[in-house]
């Protein structure tokens, strides 16, 4: 019996490990005994199996309020809960102090470690440290090159693609709806949570939303907003109609609001299949730097990265994204209106360019990323 531990210590990491085909493949092998540590109570309820045990760790993180440092507290609790009684530990971020402490303990016990890239590589994810996981499973060549720049041995880095996108290859796009008026989805980001990387984020997010709202009115486009899991609804008060703001769990203040999505009322868009359906229902997708922009490109939707503050400069990954997807980036109201107008008239204006971007950033996008990560796990355990 192989003991596999998954650290899903954020909502996004939970989706990566638990709501993709990856987990189904891992669970299917009855030689695997899987322990899952997750901060999401709702996710914990959906993860089931004879060879699966789930630990909810949300309350552990709240203990931080007692004044105990997480880098000392969390590894200690993990140790008590049996995290290190494992043959391999999988995690989605490893550059925080507590993750470093966990990695150090695992190394001392000769436990295999695998980092799986969850989303955009944040500034703190690439600072040089002296301890690395045994393997890093990254989306594509761009991420691989960035880690190599940080003096990580190329032999440690495996390009797998993103298992979160596997669903999209299995998702059958609905017939193109003739929307009148056209519909735009603004996918927000909680950039204000990282003030060092994104200074004046709240102010710039509000200004961005105002320009998007104004442009939508001028072009007769109906505007909706999908909140980031950590974002604040109140930021958009008075800018976007409240009954057109969709929270991550599909819960709106007006429970009777019918979202423009064929799943019906208030779909749970934390479910990746429903998120794909949501994206496909709109004519244009707008974001600042969210990976939902890449998801929209996968679904062949016109995508605009609207970065008025130049936040792409805070991350080498996003700097490279702007370089390669320059056709989709704008930083001012006039250019935003011009590009939105183009996409209304010619939805496939940049479709060929988008395909090239996707290959460099998320590899083959063939629906087999989950299987490639399973192969990395097998190699480490062999």
* Burial of residue 110, with CB atoms counted within 10 A of its CB: 0-12 exposed, 13-18 middle, 19 or more buried: exposed
Number of Cβ within 10 Å of residue 325's Cβ equals: 22
Tokens of 207: 């200004």
Quote the pLDDT of residue 61. Answer: 58
Longest pairwise C-alpha distance within the chain: 62
Q: In 3D, which of 309, 346, 307 has the Cα closest to residue 326? A: 307
Residues of the chain scoring pLDDT < 50? 123-124, 126-128, 250-270
pLDDT tens digits for range 163-188 = 888 877 766 665 555 677 899 999 99
pTM of the model: 0.81
Angle at Cα 207 formed by Cα 202 and Cα 208, nearest 5°?
95
- β-pairing verdict for 32-38 and 52-56: parallel
Quote the pLDDT of residue 308. Answer: 96
Quote the pLDDT of residue 131. Answer: 76
Quote the pLDDT of residue 267. Answer: 41
Long-range contacts of 272-280 (CB under 8 A, 24+ apart): 272/15, 272/19, 272/20, 272/164, 272/167, 273/167, 273/171, 274/250, 276/167, 276/168, 276/171, 277/171, 277/174, 278/185, 278/226, 278/246, 279/185, 280/171, 280/173, 280/174
Quote the pLDDT of residue 92. Answer: 85
Q: CB–CB of 10/39 below 8 Å?
A: yes
Give the position of tokens 């190394």.
107
All domains of the chain, ordered by start, with CATH? Answer: 2-161+365-381 (3.40.50.2000), 169-362 (3.40.50.2000)
Quote the pLDDT of residue 355. Answer: 92
Spatial distance between the Cα atoms of 339 and 321, rounded to a whole number of angstroms: 18
Tokens of 234: 């109140």
Quote the pLDDT of residue 78. Answer: 77
Quote the pLDDT of residue 258. Answer: 38
Quote the pLDDT of residue 66. Answer: 55
């Amino acid at each position: 019996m192989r003991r596999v531990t998954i650290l899903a210590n954020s909502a996004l990491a939970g989706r990566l490990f638990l709501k993709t085909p990856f987990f189904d493949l891992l669970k299917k092998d009855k030689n695997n005994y899987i322990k899952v540590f997750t901060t999401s109570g709702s996710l914990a309820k959906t993860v089931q199996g004879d060879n699966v045990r789930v630990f909810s760790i949300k309350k552990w993180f709240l203990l931080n309020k007692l004044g105990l440092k997480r880098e000392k507290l969390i590894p200690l609790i993990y140790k008590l809960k049996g995290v290190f009684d494992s043959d391999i530990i999988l995690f989605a971020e490893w550059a925080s102090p507590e993750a470093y402490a966990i990695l150090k303990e695992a190394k001392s016990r000769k436990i295999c470690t695998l980092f799986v890239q969850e989303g955009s590589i944040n500034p703190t994810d690439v600072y040089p440290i002296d301890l690395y996981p045994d393997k890093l499973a990254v989306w594509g060549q761009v991420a691989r090159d960035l880690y190599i720049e940080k003096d990580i041995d190329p032999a440690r880095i495996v390009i797998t693609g993103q298992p979160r996108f596997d669903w999209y290859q299995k998702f059958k796009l609905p017939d193109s709806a003739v929307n009148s008026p056209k519909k735009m989805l603004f996918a927000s980001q909680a950039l204000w949570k990282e003030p060092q990387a994104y200074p004046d984020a709240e102010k710039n997010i509000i200004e961005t939303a105002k320009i998007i709202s104004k442009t939508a009115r001028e072009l007769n486009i109906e505007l909706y907003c999908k909140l980031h899991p950590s974002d604040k609804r109140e930021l958009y008060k008075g800018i976007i109609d409240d009954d057109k703001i969709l929270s991550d769990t599909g819960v709106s203040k007006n429970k009777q609001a019918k979202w423009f999505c064929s799943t019906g009322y208030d779909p749970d868009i934390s479910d990746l299949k429903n998120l794909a359906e949501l994206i496909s229902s709109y004519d244009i997708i707008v974001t600042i730097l969210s990976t939902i922009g890449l998801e929209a490109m996968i679904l062949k939707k016109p995508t605009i990265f609207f970065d008025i503050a130049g936040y792409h400069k805070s991350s080498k990954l996003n700097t490279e994204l702007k370089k390669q997807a320059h056709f989709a980036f704008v930083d001012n109201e006039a250019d935003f209106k011009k590009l939105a107008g183009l996409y209304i008239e010619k939805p496939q204006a940049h479709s060929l360019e988008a395909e090239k971007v996707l290959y460099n950033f998320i590899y083959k996008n063939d629906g087999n990323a989950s299987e490639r990560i399973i192969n990395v796990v097998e190699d480490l355990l062999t």
